[in-house]
């Protein structure tokens, strides 16, 4: 087993004998004579099993010093595996240590075979506790996935039928997929459809918004960290890649990834191994990779902002999510779908769309795509006063004076500014949440706010 052992005994002869016996069994053996060194080691080194004597001061044989250190270790890490070394016949001390959280005890003088068997059991227990931790993390992601009640991929236009046909063909494989498309076109829904139709559908789907990860958070979020790896790292934490093992890893807005982070991601994709921060132990990364971006990734490659070798790693198959304006009849079908959803949510069951509203919806450019249409329909349901939703309910203010006149086409900048304002309002002024909803990095959103004077 590739496990790290920590031996704590004030007798150098005992440390030497234990180290020689245990080194062939484990990955690394650390021996210390003073328990005062334990906190520093546990903060900087990943330890699987601790083998600790009960007494460290000359002439003291009551075992209370060992019990005290045992309590401190278990208090900081309830999953720690600690084996206590007791003198022959100290049964009461052994029982007390077990009550305080010790996994087992070893009596001096020890029998080599019994000691090795006890150490192996401790290693196996630690490994099982790690797996339980990983399963809990996966369960959290699964629960989040279920609770969010994600929309299904909707539409029967030729453009969407082509996307669905591609999904049907590629889902059973483990090929890496890159999804391209404007903001709000449903790239995440496409990724989830691929996952749900794959052999990994029973495992987790882990969504990572790469645009929201700063360089300082990138490694911790993706690779995880060990306790003590940095300030405030109070416990071991599996990264998103480790959690996604067996399932699907969706890297959204991968085009926003900084060059230095691209290199680290490329190494993971090439070697299929990760190292938690603070650990020298590799973890095999078995996941299906799906990436997405709303940026022109080929232009990013041409301008040296995106690694070409990483691009070829992530796009064995490339899928383009069509913008809503190109989806013909899907536009009004989606509007009716969202209408039914929000009628039920807001208890306004008698509402329907007027002919003018339907005409407006069909002829609108929808620069924010499906996401913009969805938010517009919820707003219309809330604002409508009669039994019909009118154009002015969909775009408040723009049809107030001339409700039957053709709506002036806004410039692209005006449309983008309106979408940003809507998102900020919906998120209560929280710019970080608005940036995530819009699918852009926070720095990009701040620049847009300055540009449009919002």
305 lies in some domain:
yes
445 and 420 in one domain?
yes
Describe the crossing of helices 431-438 and 442-452 by its angle, rounded to 10 degrees. Answer: 100
- The CATH number of the domain where 379 resides is what? 1.10.8.60
pLDDT at 410: 60
115 and 160 in one domain?
no
Can you tell me the distance from the alpha carbon of 410 to that of 209, in angstroms, rounded to the nearest whole number? 30
290 and 163 in one domain?
yes
Give all strands of the β-sheet with 205-209 in edge-to-edge order. 205-209, 248-252, 288-293, 177-180, 317-320
274 and 245 in one domain?
yes
pLDDT at 350: 92
269 lies in some domain:
yes
Give the DSSP letter of residue 30: E
- The CATH number of the domain where 271 resides is what? 3.40.50.300
142 lies in some domain:
no
**Preceding omega of 442 cis (within 30 degrees of 0):** no
Cβ count near 291 (within 10 Å): 28
365 and 306 in one domain?
no
Can you tell me the distance from the alpha carbon of 60 to that of 75, in angstroms, rounded to the nearest whole number? 24
318 and 333 in one domain?
no
102 and 72 in one domain?
yes
- The CATH number of the domain where 78 resides is what? 3.40.50.2300
pLDDT in tens, the chain (454 residues): 678 899 999 889 999 999 999 988 877 899 999 999 999 888 878 899 999 998 887 766 788 889 999 999 999 888 899 999 987 667 788 888 989 999 998 888 888 999 999 999 999 888 888 877 777 666 665 555 554 555 678 899 999 999 999 999 999 999 999 999 999 999 999 999 999 999 998 888 999 999 888 887 898 899 998 877 887 777 788 899 998 989 999 999 999 998 889 999 999 999 989 988 888 888 888 999 999 999 999 999 999 999 999 999 999 999 999 999 999 989 999 999 999 999 999 999 999 999 999 999 998 989 999 999 999 999 999 999 989 999 999 988 754 433 444 444 566 777 788 888 888 878 777 888 888 888 778 778 888 888 877 8
282 and 211 in one domain?
yes
Indicate the burial class of 91 (C-beta count within 10 angstroms; 0-12, 13-18, 19 or more). Answer: exposed
141 lies in some domain:
no
pLDDT at 91: 77
155 and 121 in one domain?
no
Residue where a domain terminates, one of 269, 296, 322: 322
pLDDT at 141: 58
102 lies in some domain:
yes
446 and 338 in one domain?
yes
Range of the domain at 366: 327-452
Residue where a domain terminates, one of 98, 129, 160: 129
pLDDT at 149: 53
Tokens 């408040």 correspond to what residue?
A: 396
139 lies in some domain:
no
Can you tell me the distance from the alpha carbon of 441 to that of 89, in angstroms, rounded to the nearest whole number? 65
DSSP H or E run through 105: strand 104-108
263 and 331 in one domain?
no
Cβ count near 32 (within 10 Å): 17
360 and 316 in one domain?
no
The pTM is what?
Answer: 0.64
User: For the chain, how many structural domains are there in total?
Assistant: 3
Residue where a domain terminates, one of 279, 295, 322: 322
**Cα maximum dimension of the chain:** 98
pLDDT at 191: 96
134 lies in some domain:
no
140 lies in some domain:
no
């Amino acid at each position: 087993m590739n496990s790290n052992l920590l031996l704590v005994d004030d007798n150098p002869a005992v440390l030497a004998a234990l180290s020689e016996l245990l080194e062939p069994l484990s990955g690394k053996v650390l021996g210390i004579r003073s328990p005062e060194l334990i906190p520093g080691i546990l903060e900087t080194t990943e330890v699987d099993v601790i083998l600790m004597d009960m007494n460290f001061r000359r002439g003291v044989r009551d075992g209370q010093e060992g019990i005290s250190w045992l309590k401190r270790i278990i208090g900081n890490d309830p999953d720690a595996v600690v084996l206590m070394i007791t003198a022959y016949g100290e049964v009461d001390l052994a029982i007390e240590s077990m009550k305080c959280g010790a996994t087992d005890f070893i009596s001096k003088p020890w029998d080599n075979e019994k000691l090795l068997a006890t150490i192996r059991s401790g290693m196996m227990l630690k490994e099982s506790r790690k797996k339980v931790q990983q399963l809990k993390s996966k369960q959290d992601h699964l629960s989040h996935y279920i609770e969010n009640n994600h929309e299904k991929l909707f539409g029967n236009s030729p453009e969407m039928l082509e996307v669905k046909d591609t999904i049907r063909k590629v889902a059973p494989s483990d090929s890496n997929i890159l999804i391209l498309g404007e903001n709000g076109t449903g790239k995440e829904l496409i990724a989830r459809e691929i996952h749900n139709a794959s052999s990994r559908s029973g495992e987790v789907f882990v969504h990572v918004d790469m645009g929201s990860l700063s360089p300082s958070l990138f490694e911790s979020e993706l690779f995880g960290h060990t306790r003590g790896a940095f300030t405030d790292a109070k416990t071991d934490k599996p990264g998103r890649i480790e959690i996604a093992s067996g399932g699907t890893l969706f890297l959204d807005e991968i085009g926003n990834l900084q060059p230095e982070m691209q290199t680290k991601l490329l190494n993971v994709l090439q070697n299929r191994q990760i190292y938690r921060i603070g650990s020298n132990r590799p973890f095999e990364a078995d996941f299906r990779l799906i990436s997405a971006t709303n940026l022109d990734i080929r232009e990013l490659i041409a301008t040296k902002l995106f690694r070409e070798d990483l691009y070829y790693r992530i796009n064995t198959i490339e899928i383009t999510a069509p913008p809503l304006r190109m989806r013909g009849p899907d536009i009004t079908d989606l509007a009716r779908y969202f209408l039914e959803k929000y009628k039920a949510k807001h208890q306004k069951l008698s509402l329907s769309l007027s002919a003018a509203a339907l005409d407006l919806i069909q002829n609108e450019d929808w620069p924010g795509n499906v996401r913009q249409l969805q938010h517009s329909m919820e707003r219309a349901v809330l604002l409508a006063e009669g039994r019909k939703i009118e154009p002015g309910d969909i775009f408040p203010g723009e049809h107030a004076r001339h409700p039957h006149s053709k709506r002036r086409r806004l410039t692209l900048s005006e449309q983008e500014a309106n979408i940003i304002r809507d998102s900020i309002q919906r998120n209560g002024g929280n710019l970080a949440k608005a940036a995530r909803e819009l699918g852009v990095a926070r720095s990009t959103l701040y620049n847009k706010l300055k540009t449009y004077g919002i």
